[in-house]
Structure 1
Amino acid sequence: MVTNETRRAKAIQQREITTLFMASIRSKHIAESIKEPEDEGVKPNTIRLDLAILSRLFEVAATDWGMASLSNPVKRARKPKLNGGRTRRLQPAQGKEKKSEEERLLEACGERFRPVVQFAIETAMRRAEIANLTWANLNLKEKTAYLAETKNMTERAIAFSPTAIATIKGIPRRLNGSVFGMSENAITIAMRRDRAEAGIENFTFHDLRHEATSRLFEQTN
């Protein structure tokens, strides 16, 4: 099964930057590789995710491939700015609060909804995709999920982190095959209820997707 990350890597291979030796790549080359998709109309967040893959490649080369002296030019390159819109993220503990918003939200969630939130943070999947996820979609051995229908009306595969896999394995099986057993509306209602219980304002379930993609970029930046 081909994952989104594999598709991104194959697309990157078509760029001119991949004709260079890794040791010769500088931040100016990264900047040039950014301008090319920008001119083609590729969305900033897509470019940032592509940069995350390149950044990870340099980190792996330095730590696992014996190229310890190799620097990571992605870290020094200009990153495309995200388009205007919501940028709300889960905040760390502030002021009198002893716990972060994530900790407070997860504590407020019931046993049924808590895995949904944890899974959303780990996978960046949309509410509808999570609500419609079935065990038949999952391949726990390959740590992936196949989504036949998405918001963009295209199929795609999701690669799971160890935390996402652990979350899924802790969920009891349901007779109807649904992984989480919650509709889109039920997820929205639960989020509103538990967010209020946790004392968190101006945060929606969709914001978890932005939180997840931001963390993915930061982990490889």
Structure 2
Amino acid sequence: MSGSQASFSGETLLKAALVRYLEQVSVHKSPIQHARERRKAGQIAARLGEHPLGEITALDVSGYRDARLREASAAIVQGDLDLLRELFEVAVERWGVALEGNPVGGVAPTRAASDRERAFKPGELARLLAACDRRPTPMLGWIARIALQTGMSKEEILRLRIADVDLAARIVTVPRVLSRPMRQVPLTRVLVGVFREVLDYPERPEGETLLFFGSMGALGIRRPLAIDKAFRSAVVQARLKGCAFGDLRHEAVTRMAEAGLSEVEVHAIAGMPMPRGGRVVKPTVVQLVARLDAVGFGVEAARRGAGRRGLG
């Protein structure tokens, strides 16, 4: 029998419950959300699918969470747990499965919901970008927006040079930083405008190739812009607590996943290790440019108009 016809109980395997969930619940959500939940259901079924519903414990779910965190971002893993939580709620409330409780309820959230990787509350990001824009130069605002649209780290952004930017192709070549290899990152249409402002910045010293340049050192060497102090000041002005620059990268990864990009696509853009298991085909940067347009990533952020340049 199909998932929609089967009689369910605590002895039903999780993989069968996932099929029924996709057929009866998820199918009524948006096409993007349904496709995302199909992918997540596949990940869950691969590890927990043979477990009966009534025998799955918080310890099982914690084991799944920890295993997935070794191959996917905290935001993506939290989405898996949210799906699993909803599945158990549906099983009890709609399908009449007798369970002692929801095993996901006893599992601590991933680091995406913790203070170390801080999630922005409504209005906070707009205040932060506005505070960045109030700095003496526009560079901090540009840097913050690039992080939000690409998931690039602070070190990667600050090492960018003019030759790394191809606005016609909408591609930025990110240099090797620490253990991360060189990679190419696609640009949203909105972010192309930001990079155009960066390249046209009239205060750039003649012959300077760094996009975000600092003061000239005593030895006549110009280093990348130092932004730590300026960013901390912007955080204070924006009335935020516990916010670090790395949270912009986390926010970018979360938004990409929410927009409908696959795990492989998110990992490729943000420079994260590819998901393990199965045959992973890494998309080309040209394909990623097209995918950003297809899911509208960056367009919705611009429409919200949270910052002066519309990249909130």
TM range (shorter): 0.5 to 0.7
**Deviation sequence 1:81-108 (CA, Å, 0-9, x none):** 745772302211xxxxxxx111211221
Partner SS for 1:157: strand
Cα distance in 2, alignment partners of residues 192 and 166 from structure 1: 26
Per the TM alignment, residue 185 of structure 1 is displaced from its structure 2 partner at its CA by 6.7
Confirm whether residue 131 of structure 1 aligns to residue 158 of structure 2.
yes
Tell me which stretches of 4 or more aligned residues in structure 1 moved more than 3 Å.
Answer: 25-35, 38-42, 46-49, 76-79, 81-85, 182-185
Q: Specify the alignment match of 2:248 in structure 1.
A: 208
Residue number in structure 2 paired with 1:86:
116
CA distance in 1, matches of 2:143, 2:254: 18
1:151 positional shift: 3.1
Equivalent position amino acid for 2:235 in 1 = R
Q: Specify the alignment match of 1:194 in structure 2.
A: 234
Q: 5 Å matches for 1:1-221? A: 28-32=41-45, 42-45=70-73, 48=76, 78=84, 82=110, 86-92=116-122, 100-109=123-132, 110=135, 111-171=138-198, 172-173=200-201, 174=204, 175-182=207-214, 186-220=226-260
CA contact (8 A) 2:154 2:245 kept: yes
The DSSP-based 3-state class of the residue aligned with 1:169 is: helix
| Residue 154 (structure 1) shift | 1.5
Rounded Cα–Cα distance in structure 1 between residues aligned with 2:41 and 2:121: 34
Q: Which residue does 2:298 correspond to in 1? A: none
Q: Matched residue of 1:202: which SS?
A: coil
Instruction: Tell me which amino acid in the other structure corresponds to 1:154.
Output: P
Percent identity of the aligned residues?
Answer: 22
What is the DSSP-based 3-state SS (H/G/I as helix, E as strand, rest coil) of the residue aligned with 1:168?
A: helix
TM-score (norm 2): 0.45
Partner of 2:292: none
Q: Point out where structure 1 has 5 or more consecutive residues left out of the alignment.
A: 1-22, 53-73, 93-99
Q: TM-score scaled to structure 1, two decimals?
A: 0.61
Deviations 1:174-211 (A, max 9, x none): 33111222566721111011111121111011111111
Question: Could you say what the CA RMSD is over the residues aligned between the two structures, in angstroms?
Answer: 3.8
2:212–2:225 contact (8 Å) kept in structure 1 = no
Q: Which amino acid aligns with 1:43?
A: E
Equivalent position amino acid for 1:155 in 2: M
- For 1:107, the aligned partner's letter is A
Structure 2 runs not aligned, ≥5 long: 1-34, 49-65, 86-108, 215-222, 262-312
Higher relative contact order (CA 8 A, sep 6+): 1
Structure 1 residues 195 and 29, CA gap change in structure 2 (3 angstroms):
closer
Q: Distance in 1 between matches of 2:47 and 2:164?
A: 34
Distance 2:194 2:160 in 1: 14
What CA distance in whole angstroms lies between the structure 2 residues aligned with 1:208 and 1:193? 16
Amino acid at match of 1:187: I
- Greater Rg by CA: 2
Q: State how many pairs are aligned.
A: 170
Cα offsets for 1:101-120 (capped at 9, x unmatched): 11211221222311111111
